[in-house]
Copies of this chain bind each other. A is one copy, B any other.
Amino acid sequence: MTDRKAQRLTKPEEYAELLDQFDTFLFDCDGVIWTGPTLVPGMTDVLTMLRSKGKNILFVTNNAKKSREMYKKAFDSFGIQASVLNDSLESVIQDEIFGSAYASAIYLSKILKFPADKKVYVIGEEGIEQELKSVGIQFTGGTDPEDRVFIPSGDYSAIKNDSSIGAVLCGFDMYVNYKKYAKAHTYITNNPGCEFILTNADPTYPAGGAFYPGSGSMSAPLRFSTKKTPTIIGKPHKHMMETILAAHDFNPERTIMIGDNLETDILFGINSNITTLLVLTGVTHEAHLSGENKSDTVPDYVVQSMGDFAVLAEKK
């Protein structure tokens, strides 16, 4: 248990002082920009204000179902401006959406320099496939109807090794099944040096006010069966920052991570050595910040809502 305390900001002058300290704002989305289907009040004004001040904005999300292109539609539906440039790697520098599917593709291409003659076996949906395509990496599995089937009990004849598979990438897949698990297990255990990568390790996925098994849970059978420790890309893991820095140019010292989740967003900022700001519009409430059950993960700053910064826009 640490004695470090977060600084609580409530006054317009405190908000203004904070903004002056940073050039780049990394935002988590659900719980910060919107909560489920509802935009957090004031957020449109806040984002417009940040842009008018010349701040860099990046939306950093663990959601592995969606490509940046697909994620942009969520922003569009709220009337929020977010850029996506879907051409060469060089031109994504202004790209504002950074999801764990894209981060995994960047990790493979820029960090691992994944060989052009090798393929990635995907447990995941369209979003991951789109992002692998965007960086020119070959893949199998994913949405292939051949793998969206049940194999008869006890019949392993469809499971054969493919030595061209150099990595298994697991994200969120509503069509997960035994064939996919058995193929991925076979590739990881038979192909020397086969990478085992998770887009993210979130245990649950929120939908309609309830929680369901998330990406981190979907990949759990492979962690058990292969006994291999996967490389996890999404928040709170440092690979997420490593991939953002591989695709974007900014000074981490003048960067702040803004999120609603202590164990993903805030821990990600801490693991990445950047300043952190917690908002209370999502999964974290006052009770998590003090008292006996308080978390060991302490943000630098806390505000009630990122929308509260809109007061600075109104003053203009």
* A residues adjacent to B (C-beta < 8 A): 65, 125, 148, 150-154, 156, 159, 173-178, 181-182, 185-186, 189, 203-204, 207-208, 210-214, 216-218, 220-225, 227
> Which residues on B sit within 8 Å (CB–CB) of A65?
153-154
- A151 lies within 8 A of B174 (CB): yes
A208 and B175 CA atoms in complex are apart in Å by 26
CB-nearest residue of chain B to A212: B182
**Apart from A154-B207, A181-B217, A185-B212, 9 more pairs, CB < 8 Å:** A148-B150, A150-B175, A175-B177, A175-B178, A181-B213, A181-B218, A189-B211, A212-B225, A217-B224
25 A-B residue pairs with CB within 8 Å: A65-B153, A148-B150, A150-B175, A150-B177, A151-B174, A152-B174, A154-B207, A156-B208, A173-B178, A175-B178, A177-B177, A178-B213, A178-B218, A181-B212, A185-B204, A185-B211, A185-B212, A185-B213, A186-B210, A189-B211, A213-B225, A218-B221, A220-B221, A220-B223, A220-B224
Partner of A213, one of B175, B210, B224: B224
- B178 lies within 8 A of A150 (CB): no
- A153 lies within 8 A of B175 (CB): yes
> Which residues on B sit within 8 Å (CB–CB) of A189?
211
- B176 lies within 8 A of A212 (CB): no
- Shortest CB–CB separation between residue A209 and chain B, in angstroms? 10
- A210 lies within 8 A of B156 (CB): yes
> Which residues on B sit within 8 Å (CB–CB) of A175?
150, 153, 177-178
- A176 lies within 8 A of B174 (CB): no
> Which residues on B sit within 8 Å (CB–CB) of A125?
153
A218 and B177 CA atoms in complex are apart in Å by 10
> Contacts A150-B174, A154-B65, A174-B153 known; A222 to B217 CB distance under 8 Å?
yes
CB-nearest residue of chain B to A161: B210
> Which residues on B sit within 8 Å (CB–CB) of A173?
178
A256 and B301 CA atoms in complex are apart in Å by 62
- B212 lies within 8 A of A156 (CB): yes
